[in-house]
Amino acid sequence: MNINGVAIDDTFAEAFGMRATRILITALDLKWAYHAARAATGFATSVIGCGCEAGIERELSPDETPDGRPGLAVLLFAVSDKELAKQVERRVGQCVLTAPTSAAFSGIAGEPVNMGKNLRFFGDGYQNSKLIGGRRYWRIPVMDGEFLCEETTGMVRAVGGGNFLVFAHGQVEALAACEAAITAMSKVPGVIMPFPGGVVRSGSKVGSKYKTLTASTNDAFCPTLRGAVKSELSPDESAVLEIVIDGLTETDVRTAMRAGIAAVCQAGSSGGVLRISAGNYGGKLGKFHFKLHDLLK
């Protein structure tokens, strides 16, 4: 398959079942909602080292938030119920509770995961709860007034690790194509691209020559190792970037991948993009397979 001069490999992206939640973070204005949301979703690129993968899903207008203020929807993905619960409490407690004027609400229905339930104890006995519309909110006194936080957020089964790889003549071309892809994918609801700017350059393979490491650089895709290892790169391909996608449903991931690949192909070979591929583990580890050719039919 070839679109606009870009070769599409006949392969598939392999993704995994995860647990996810959506949290709505509001503040006095969007600027402070961003401060809180960026902090809460920071250091959350990969479950391997961060405990969860997280990102800002989209901006919310005042009429979309429970408290009528501007806000952001953030998504958090983890490998287990327990880990997700730990990450929600830790991130809301350290990054949202601490941010001036902020409030946190559940943004999805699902199995309840504690959010404000234990954070309330920060109130040292002066915390109060209100049960409004069947949902419990905690009012925790803080130095700028009150931090309002819903007791729980909803946890759902989700899909993590959807991906595709962009092969280009050089770094600049690969990055420009990926930026276009991220712009297109950011409009898809229910997904995040958890790496910095949505793009990852350090694709990994399972295992390492060092026994303590479970993953290491994917040498077959490193252009500077051509000649030293069995390379997967053609002579023209001097830079590879990857976009990883986590979504609330398989359809969300599929839609985002399709939008992203279409944006990359729009740059075409004239934009220095040569090939698109995807990462997998032979289909043995992940439950979800996204075949590139099927996506683009």
Which residues here bind other proteins, judged by CB under 8 A?
Answer: 66-68, 103, 125-126, 128-133, 137, 139, 145-146, 148
- CB–CB of 25/104 below 8 Å? yes
Residue 139 or 258: the one with the smaller Cβ distance to other proteins is 139
Residue 140 or 276: the one with the smaller Cβ distance to other proteins is 140
Cβ partners under 8 Å of residue 133, min gap 6: none
- CB–CB of 158/54 below 8 Å? no
Angle 250-267/171-185 helices, nearest 10 degrees? 140
| Least gap, CB of 106 to other proteins (angstroms) | 13
Tokens read off for 202:
């350090």
| Least gap, CB of 71 to other proteins (angstroms) | 12
| Least gap, CB of 73 to other proteins (angstroms) | 18
| Least gap, CB of 61 to other proteins (angstroms) | 15
Q: How far apart are CA 239 and CA 271, in angstroms?
A: 13
- CB–CB of 174/168 below 8 Å? yes
Residue 9 or 67: the one with the smaller Cβ distance to other proteins is 67
| Least gap, CB of 121 to other proteins (angstroms) | 14
Strands (E), the chain: 2-3, 6-8, 12-26, 53-60, 71-78, 103-106, 111-114, 128-132, 135-142, 145-150, 152-168, 191-192, 204-206, 215-217, 239-247, 273-277, 288-291
The CA–CA distances, whole Å, from 215 to 53, 104, 193, 219 equal 17, 35, 20, 11
| Least gap, CB of 66 to other proteins (angstroms) | 6
Residue 127 or 238: the one with the smaller Cβ distance to other proteins is 127
Residue 146 or 179: the one with the smaller Cβ distance to other proteins is 146
Residue 124 or 270: the one with the smaller Cβ distance to other proteins is 124
Residue 17 or 123: the one with the smaller Cβ distance to other proteins is 123
Residue 104 or 244: the one with the smaller Cβ distance to other proteins is 104
- Strand pairing partners for 291? 12
Q: How far apart are CA 251 and CA 42, in angstroms?
A: 26
- CB–CB of 130/116 below 8 Å? no
Q: How far apart are CA 170 and CA 181, in angstroms?
A: 17
Q: What are phi and psi of 229, to 5 degrees?
A: -130, 175
| Least gap, CB of 105 to other proteins (angstroms) | 9
| Least gap, CB of 191 to other proteins (angstroms) | 28
- CB–CB of 295/23 below 8 Å? no
